[in-house]
């Protein structure tokens, strides 16, 4: 799975899992606990409890196969599936900030994320936030304060599909030692790979495109190993928003068809957008694939 020569189609269709019975599909490990041959084996397992199968809240064989696939197609080192998209979002944000810190984000973000940043974090931890027009990188630079610790992005943004220049923003953030998190749900890792553009942490609502069948609620966090290991040992483990084995198995099923589904989504969206753009009762269509989209050039560059 770490072979960078593999295409996304290969990663998603190939199960890097060896079953003792030769099963071609990874089985559902619907168990909470795992047994060990001796106390020495238990001791060694707990020395690396986030890498060994001890308790399914920490790590589960079925879930791990799905996590490895998602990490690979996102261009990250590790991924951790969560019980919902908002669980992934809040865990990633909490990892980056402490009491009295400051967050910069965009105006058109997912509603629950907006509430978490502007209300919950403010009321509980006095974490302040500045909501800006994310289309101009200068707005991010102007909003930076001494206590700014996080720039939270969503590109394309909810409803309006406004974009942020991920490469430029990540460079700015790194120059000021500020972490960056992006909700990449709308683009999916098929069409946009923020980690390769310098973003620190990528989150998804797996319930949407990655799941794709409206039968699973899940989220995922993807990043480099050092960041993910810290989240695993803190926010993910202590808040308990873990992924159940059955949902992990459903996600594995969905990932096999992700490339085909996303290409169909793209083609259908373009047909609908072009039809609406030429309709006399429609004033404007916001779709990054249209040449009339205000940020079309940026969409072509980073998506």
Higher pLDDT, 109 or 3: 109
Which uninterrupted H or E stretch holds 66? helix 61-74
The reply to whether 289 and 214 lie within a common domain is no
What local confidence, expressed as pLDDT, does residue 52 receive?
80
Q: Count of CB atoms within 10 A of residue 122's CB?
A: 14
Question: Are 268 and 154 within one domain?
Answer: no
In this predicted structure, the answer to whether residue 1 has a pLDDT above a threshold of 70 is no
Cα–Cα distance, 69 to 189 (Å, whole number): 11
More confident residue, 51 or 298: 298
Higher-pLDDT residue of 11 and 205 is 205
Question: Looking at per-residue confidence, does 52 or 248 come out higher?
Answer: 248
Q: Provide mean pLDDT across the span 209-235.
A: 96
Residues 203 and 293 in one domain: no
Both 138 and 238 in a single domain? Answer: yes
What is the C-alpha to C-alpha distance for residues 262 and 10, in angstroms, rounded to an integer? Answer: 15
Paired sense of beta strands 201-205 and 102-106, if any: unpaired
Mean pLDDT is lowest, of 5-14, 25-34, 252-261, 266-275, for 5-14
- What mean pLDDT do residues 63-75 have? 96
Q: Where is average pLDDT lowest: 59-63, 98-102, 141-145, 198-202?
A: 59-63
19 falls within a domain:
no
Q: Is 283 domain-assigned?
A: yes
Angle at 27 between CA 22 and CA 31, to 5 degrees: 130
Question: What pLDDT, on the 0 to 100 scale, is given for residue 214?
Answer: 96
Which pLDDT score, from 0 to 100, does residue 143 have? Answer: 99
Cα–Cα distance for residue pair 275/3, rounded to 1 Å: 41
Q: Please tell me the total count of domains within the chain.
A: 2
Structure confidence at residue 90 (pLDDT): 98
| 164 and 39 together in one domain | yes
pLDDT at 40: 82
The pLDDT assigned to 267 comes to 97
Cβ count near 73 (within 10 Å): 24
What Rg value do the Cα atoms of the chain yield, rounded?
A: 20
The confidence score (pLDDT) of residue 4 equals 59
Domain residues for the domain of 276 are: 259-302
Give me the chain's average pLDDT, please. 93
Lowest mean pLDDT among 89-103, 107-121, 201-215, 229-243: 229-243
Dihedral sign of CA atoms 99, 102, 104, 110 in order? positive
Q: What is the CATH number of the domain that holds 134?
A: 3.40.640.10
* 81: in domain: yes
Does 276 lie in the same domain as 172? Answer: no
Give the pLDDT confidence score for residue 85 in this predicted structure: 98
Residue 247 lies in a domain: yes
Residue 5 maps to a domain = no
Give 73-85 pLDDT, tens digit per residue: 999 999 999 999 9
pLDDT at 2: 52
Three-class SS state of 26: coil
pLDDT for position 44: 79
Cis peptide before 156 (omega within 30 of 0): yes
Residue 225 lies in a domain: yes
**How many other CB atoms sit within 10 Å of the CB of residue 117?**
24
Position 49 confidence tier, pLDDT thresholds 50, 70, 90: low
> pLDDT tens for residues 171-192?
999 999 999 999 999 999 999 9
Instruction: Indicate if 105 and 243 belong to the same structural domain.
Output: yes
Mean pLDDT on 143-166: 97
Average of per-residue pLDDT across 50-62? 83
Residue 279 has pLDDT above 90, yes or no: yes
The predicted-structure confidence for 118-150, as pLDDT tens digits, reads as follows 999 999 999 999 999 999 999 999 999 999 999
Residue 232 lies in a domain: yes
| Local confidence band at 105 (pLDDT 50, 70, 90 cut-offs) | very high
């Amino acid at each position: 799975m770490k072979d960078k020569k593999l295409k996304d189609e290969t990663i998603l269709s190939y199960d890097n899992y060896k079953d003792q019975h030769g099963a071609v599909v990874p089985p559902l490990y619907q168990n909470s606990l795992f047994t060990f041959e001796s106390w020495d084996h238990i001791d060694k397992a707990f020395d690396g409890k986030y890498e060994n199968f001890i308790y399914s809240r920490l790590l589960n064989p079925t879930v791990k196969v799905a996590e490895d696939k998602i990490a690979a197609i996102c261009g990250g080192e590790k991924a951790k599936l969560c019980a919902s998209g908002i669980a992934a979002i809040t865990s990633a944000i909490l990892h980056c900030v402490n009491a009295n810190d400051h967050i910069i984000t965009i105006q058109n973000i997912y509603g629950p994320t907006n509430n978490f940043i502007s209300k919950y974090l403010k009321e509980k931890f006095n974490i302040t936030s500045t909501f800006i027009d994310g289309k101009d990188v200068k707005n991010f630079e102007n909003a930076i304060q001494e206590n700014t610790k996080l720039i939270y992005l969503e590109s394309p943004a909810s409803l309006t599909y406004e974009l942020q220049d991920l490469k430029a923003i990540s460079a700015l953030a790194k120059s000021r030692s500020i972490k960056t998190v992006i909700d990449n749900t709308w683009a999916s890792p098929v069409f946009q790979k923020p980690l390769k553009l310098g973003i620190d942490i990528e989150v998804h609502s797996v319930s949407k495109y990655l799941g794709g069948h409206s039968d699973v609620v899940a989220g995922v966090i993807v990043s480099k190993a050092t960041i993910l290991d810290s989240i695993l040992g803190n926010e993910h483990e202590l808040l308990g928003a873990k992924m159940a084995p059955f949902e992990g198995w459903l996600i594995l099923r969905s990932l096999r068809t992700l490339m085909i589904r996303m290409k169909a989504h793209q083609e259908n969206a373009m047909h609908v957008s072009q039809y609406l753009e030429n309709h006399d009762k429609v004033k404007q269509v916001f779709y990054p694939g249209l040449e009339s989209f205000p940020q079309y050039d940026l969409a072509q560059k980073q998506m």
